[in-house]
Chain A
Amino acid sequence: MSVVERPRSLQEQVTLLDLVDRVLNKGVVLTGDLTLSVADVDLVYVGLRVLLSSVASLERGREGDA
């Protein structure tokens, strides 16, 4: 058995989603001279994809526990 990271509570999960949603998706865009290529990346979808995969692995972890 590998040491599994303790799954965070649902509340924390949702709060992180709110945080990423605001920080990556809202706010004024002040383009910097190093920001250009990153601006081409749709930041929020990158971020949400990360969260999505982490939620999916959390679900798998739960099923594994049952």
Chain B
Amino acid sequence: MSETATATALYAYAVVGPVTERLRNELGDRLELVGDDEVAVVTGEVPLADYGTEVLPERLNDRAWLESAATEHEGVVRRLLGSTAVVPLRFGSIHHDRASVERFLQARRAEFAATLERVRGLVEVGVKVWLEPRDRAAEPEAPLPASGREYLERRKQERDRAAAASGELDDRLRGIHERLAAVAEAAALNRPQARELTGADREMVLNAAYLVATDDEALRAEVERLRSENADLAFEVTGPWAPYNFVGGADQ
């Protein structure tokens, strides 16, 4: 049992290719390639004390640990991004040894080669749209309803107005997504993050990702135009990211 404290496994971060000199320079001492010059897996040793099957699920519930592990994963992937084509792997791909990584790679080598070809020279940009909260203080206060009937009538009008506004917003968001998708190689819509998770005082109404060329400026320019046309919406741009949303994960 004394071995467990120092025992390690191989964590797989991404599939990359072709292997360039610049990529090799980015790897440093800790990261190691498994595979060949066209398609390779970037791996790094991690302690089994953290990544073993019995402990990892528990570790994921530790916010500080999860944050540092996710940041580490993304840090490696991002560092590779400029040196060759990168297919990011999902968090937690853990192997006993190089032979195991090699086996899993060979089983899907053709698929990875095709995906690498598809995302070469492209990055993912995230665009989130927020609905600014209405300034209720600025709205005129209605007089108290004179009767129960007037009260119900007013409630119905409020509901109708809200439904119309929501339909109008949906149309506008669809238009916004279409315009951004038109200047991108590919587009992906994700569910807006719930307010309980964002902790924001405004509601996220669009959560999208777009695949664009590394040196693209058209998407950001289109966001600027949309920003000036939609005063009640806030646009947030994130990235560039590795193409997480465009490599065909299990739920895509």
Contact = CB atoms under 8 A, between A and B. Distances in A.
A34 B63 contact: no
Contact of A34 (B62, B96, B236): B96
A16 B53 CA distance: 25
B56 A27 contact: no
Contact of B196 (A24, A25, A27, A52): A52
A47 B12 contact: no
A22 B245 contact: yes
Contacts of B101: 32
B51 A48 contact: no
Interface size grouping (class) on chain A: 35 or more
B244 A27 contact: yes
A55 to B, nearest CB: 4
B226 interface: no
B230 interface: no
Interface in B70-109: 70-71, 73-74, 87-96, 100-101, 104-105, 108
A54 B53 CA distance: 25
A21 B15 CA distance: 20
B12 A29 contact: no
B218 interface: no
A2 interface: no
Contact of B238 (A18, A37, A38): A18
Interface stretch (B19-27, B164-172, B197-205): B197-205
Interface of B: 9-10, 12, 15, 41, 51-53, 56-57, 60-63, 66-67, 70-71, 73-74, 87-96, 100-101, 104-105, 108, 112, 115, 126, 128, 190, 193, 196-200, 236, 238, 241, 244-245, 247-252
Interface in A19-33: 19-33
27 contacts: A13-B199, A18-B126, A20-B67, A23-B88, A23-B244, A25-B251, A27-B88, A27-B90, A28-B89, A28-B115, A28-B249, A29-B250, A30-B89, A30-B105, A32-B100, A34-B52, A35-B94, A38-B56, A38-B92, A39-B92, A46-B57, A48-B197, A50-B61, A50-B63, A51-B63, A54-B63, A55-B199
